[in-house]
Amino acid sequence: MNRRDLVSMLGTVLATWPLAATAQQSQKIPTIGFLGSATEQEQRRWTAAFVQRLRELGWIEGQTVRIEYRWAAGSPARAADAAGEFVRSKVDIILTNGTSLVTAIRRVTSEIPIVFAAAGDPVGTGLVASLSRPGGNLTGLSVQATDLAGKHLELLRQMRPGARRLAMLFNVGAANARLQMQEMKAAAGRLGFDFTAVEIRKPEDIAPAIDGLAGRADVLFVANEPLALTYRARINSLAVAAHLPTMYAFREFVDSGGLMSYGPSFPDLFRRSADYVDKILRGAKPGDLPVQQPVKFELVINLKTAKALGIEIPPKLLALADEVIE
């Protein structure tokens, strides 16, 4: 090869090198930061629904998209650490669930798009400006937990017609749980229940809170938030020992020994959240995507727990159930 040919070849390589580097960068697959409110095992069904829907939309984990998983396990400190880690690693989008986790992420970034698969009352807690125009860098699905208080009490009354004393266990540190408590208190007043609110802040508060209800309550409603979800088995065992029938807003509590739940299907919400992620990764702005509400609700009753409590569930209520655990 003569000198003229060598110079020509080097010129061609140098000219095409930036194009090759740009092509490699354009092939970089996006990264989703997935921050779960509970643990990996507890949210397995929800996560599987999300990943399956992503695959249907063309996003295959490990091939066309990366997913970095972190689990808060009901701990605000873990949620804050994971949020900071996602921001430092510059993920392309963050998926989470629960008002407290969305708040933790929003504290550290106003730029990375955030999708919440489930938030109790995103307008009432100040996460979004409105359901139709959320604005900012976040959007997702609302479970509208505060809207279900009346329905929960109606079902409790069908299950225990003579019940008059309602207690509610709620994490006072969770904004959504506080709103739920206020709505439940108002609904209890309308429907003739005596209402007692029991505050918790940390796992160590659960046992004394439930033990303290002995002889003071006929039924117990537990607010849905990450701390209660993470320690639901403990809550249920303590409630059975105290002879307290329990009502929840979603079925995972009943799978772990709670008596009854009525609320949206979380696997369905996580599946639908994948559609938001797809749209945003393809260029949509999260603040322009309306917050959607649940379309699938389910009533679940645990007959094993009813037997342990010595309760006979009315046949009419059993007929309404979407699932009965025997």
- Which tops the pLDDT comparison, 17 or 323? 323
Residues in the chain, overall count? 326
Query: What pLDDT sits at residue 200?
Result: 97
Which residues make Cβ contacts (< 8 Å) with residue 56, sequence separation at least 6? none
Q: What pLDDT, in 10s, does the model give residues 177-187?
A: 998 999 999 99
DSSP string covering 236-281: HHHHHHTT--EEESSTHHHHTT-SEEEEE-HHHHHHHHHHHHHHHH
* Rounded Cα distance, 74 and 175, in Å: 14
User: Domains of the chain (ranges plus CATH)?
Assistant: 29-144+265-296 (3.40.50.2300), 146-264+298-325 (3.40.50.2300)
Residues 196-242: tens digit of each pLDDT: 999 999 999 999 999 999 889 999 999 988 899 889 999 999 999 99
